[in-house]
Structure 1
Amino acid sequence: MYVKDEDQGMFGLIGENLSHVQDMVYDVNNQLRSMMESGGLAYLELDPISCCCYLEGLVGTSRSDFGIQLSQDKGFDYKLFTMIAWDPPGYGYSRPPERAYGKDVYKNDADLAAELMAKLGYNLYSLLGWSDGGKVALLMAIKYQSRIDKLVVWGTGATVTDNERKTLNIFRNVSLIKADSRELYEKEYGQGFQAMVDKLADHYTYLDDICKDEVHKIRCPTFVIHGDNDPVALEHPLYLNEKICDARLHRFRRGGHDCHKEFSEEFKKIVTEFLLE
């Protein structure tokens, strides 16, 4: 089921930051394809103790979105956590197929991520979901309550607002995306990056409710994180914090959408403390 890829170093997942790490696993598409009807999935697995599944955002990949958190020098402590990061269908190494947007895309991702974790033998794990990955994490915590130990979400919400649709339309001009992030995306997707952004913006045109009337069903301890400069409105984390029975909220006053990158040390500290409680 697993194949070591020592030549690329973590199947080329984080580049130089993680190239020296040997204890990683890589799915060679045809192997998970035989397990999952939806096609091959790429993921990495870092041992050992408490298991965390990372769910990335928008057109991101586990490399572009969680490179710091998964790195050996600046990331979460490998002695404390098993860290699994996947690329959902259509993103990163889980291509082909192309991303199939539709009203159920996040529900499909949630089901597939849960199936992947089950195939890997994890019956209880925590979720860390950012941006669109936060939507998937919320849906997983609603549907698979007995499997989710703790939930961490940031830059996300249970609905989509008009302002967020406008923001996505603005970013059709990819030159407006932060240079460091844009370079990672362009390296990953090449000339296809613009088309992916356009498809995503089109997708958001029709998005409305994700799970607004269901988040109250979440029973696991939940850590909602928000950067006050995030285009994702403050109303989202406030709503989640209010409706989820065992939730807490932390705000990065000077943080943006990617506060886990901007304030990576503080992010690591507060999330580690939460997960180990």
Structure 2
Amino acid sequence: MNRRSFLKKTFGGILTFLGVSGGAYFYARDIEPKALNIHTENIKSSTIPKSFHNFKIVQFSDTHIGFHYDLAQFEDLVNVINKHNPDLIVFTGDLVDEPNRYNWDTKLMKLLQSLKAPYGKFWIYGNHDHGGYGTDIVKEVMDQADFQLLQNEHKIIQKDNESINLAGIDDVMLGNPDLTKTLQQANTDLFTILLAHEPDYADQAIKFPIDVQLSGHSHGGQVRLPFIGHLYTPSYAQKYVKGNYVFDSSNLSLYVNQGIGTTRVPYRFLCKPEIYVFSLKSE
């Protein structure tokens, strides 16, 4: 769907339902995009080591800084994340909306650097980070901010001589994801978390020994209407849009983050920005 069709469908649905309500327009543009939801989840598994019981992971995604989301708002987000005292932080892509046009300065890097997690900060490319948009620019900023890129690779997270796997693939739309390469030489008996920007990649992930996939990209639809749901989601976020999904053919559990910022249009309606706070539970 191109931008014109997206705008037509979005505005048409909103106007039909709300009867051209100026109050709802104000809410969708100026209130809900700033109403952060803290989504807490317990992840239980017999393969989570005992030393990782209550291990806390914070996921944030799709900030799209520069498109109706500024550094002052991002600083507030950083403070919220740090107040949760995460053991591990993961960012699942789309840092700024247009990296090749964004007015880069050191403040963004310093804010990212101020995020604290004793077991590391990790990230993957989203489609707005990658391809012709500014792959190297984003990577340089994240490197300086002490975020480790997972681009078709995995890292072993170790605590008290016990371990879990954290894996990440390249962006599906504009990169070259390779899950076989990602898990090469990985101990597949370990509890394994996969970072994949596009949630529909779960249909590939179920073929591999992965316990949890964390994704973003969908924005939860960004604009949702009662009884109708989302009006639009991008490619590779059309099957799995928001929340948690489980699969009968696999032990995989997928979590789709609604993201922080907006893109294409600066509205959120019945689809608040969110971060996930996961607590691992050893069973």
TM over 0.5: no
Bigger share in strand:
2
Bigger share in helix:
1
Q: Quickly name the TM-score band, shorter chain normalised.
A: 0.3 to 0.5
Larger Rg: 2
Q: Which has the higher contact order (CA 8 A, sep 6+)?
A: 2
| TM-score, scaled to structure 2 | 0.32
| TM-score, scaled to structure 1 | 0.33
